[in-house]
A = this chain, B = another copy of it.
Amino acid sequence: MLVVMRSDATPDQVGRVVEAIRGQNLTPHVLPGATRTAIGMTGNTAAVDKGLFEVLAGVDEAIRVTKPYKLASREMHRDDTAFPVAGVEVGPRTFAVVAGPCSVENEGMVFKTAEFLLSQGVKLLRAGAFKPRTSPYAFQGMGVEGLQILKKVREKTGIGVVTELMDTEYADAVEEAADVIQIGTRNMQNFALLKRVGKCRKPVLLKRGMSATLEEWLMAAEYVLAGGNYQVILCERGVRTFADHSRNTLDLSVVPPAKALSHLPVFVDPSHGTGKRAFVPAMALAGLAAGADGLMVEVHPDPDKALSDGPQTVDFPTFAALMGRVRELAGVLGRAV
């Protein structure tokens, strides 16, 4: 942190900043300049609010010069993180594809989807047993029964399972049924939940909050990493903007800086990102070209009858065609699918 004084700041005002820094158990370092004085500080500044200094008399600005996240940052971990999930490598050499229905609706459709995906070479199935729904009157997911279905499908077909955890109460049950535990966009800053999955031994797929900055997203990952779980996948799924041509604005431009600042793998979800099935394939390819390490996409045997997210869900033929394009592009970009 660097506190920049105004050009007309008095020595007394500088003194009070020095004192305020000491009050935070940090060591101040006064740096007099040609026109103004700057004051550096050393110690653990990660948790210090820069606003604390900015309200002091004579202060022009306080600037954070170290990143507030540690374990998630590339400074701490130069190389890209890679790890296997149910036999699929996630990391910089591959483009991992996760697909499936928004929610577990019944055993038959999950089996059918899993078998279709395996036939396409896709080894990770997404399907929610617990569903976060805007309306209390909407289908809330099959819950524990849905987890049983996922376990059965995993056993019989060998497909890996990605499913969402919404509440600490079901953490054990979801961890048992899942190969990857998904944290949804509405829970990106549900800190109790983040701390809980920090203790899980399964990888965590952390969706970006609808209005989260990159720093906040990495800080949410830091909660999981700080708990001892180092297998975190970041997943961009669209943010809230004024634009009304899509359900959310898929922010592909976050992919390059996320990968520059962090060593964690980054996935892209064009289904939630667009909200419209017609636009999913183009944005899936764009995510791959932008440098994402994986894709999460909603597919359903009969999307028009899906119990949730039907409008943004593609059918089997569309998905198969998409996978063909994905393989072609991934080949050019040097990634294995």
Contact = CB atoms under 8 A, between A and B. Distances in A.
Contacts of A186: 189-191
Contact of A167 (B32, B63, B168, B244): B168
A310 B240 contact: no
A207 B252 CA distance: 19
Contacts of A189: 132, 134, 186
A55 B279 CA distance: 12
Interface in A2-56: 2, 4, 20, 23, 27, 29, 31-36, 38, 40, 42, 44, 46-47, 49, 51-52, 54-56
A331 to B, nearest CB: 8
A301 interface: no
B213 A211 contact: no
Interface string A269-299: 0000111111100110111111100000000
B44 A35 contact: no
**Integer count of this chain's copies in the complex:** 4
Contact of A211 (B35, B210, B310, B311): B210
A34 to B, nearest CB: 4
Interface string A203-215: 0000000110111
Contacts of A51: 275-276, 310-312
B137 A44 contact: yes
B245 A311 contact: no
Given A40-B35, A192-B167, A283-B256, A244 B65 contact: no
A303 B135 CA distance: 37
Q: Which 4 A-B pairs have the closest CB atoms?
A: A51-B311, A211-B211, A167-B192, A286-B290
25 contacts: A33-B38, A34-B42, A44-B137, A46-B137, A47-B133, A49-B309, A54-B311, A55-B276, A55-B277, A55-B310, A135-B222, A136-B191, A140-B191, A167-B168, A186-B191, A211-B242, A213-B243, A241-B251, A243-B253, A252-B253, A253-B279, A285-B289, A286-B290, A289-B289, A328-B332
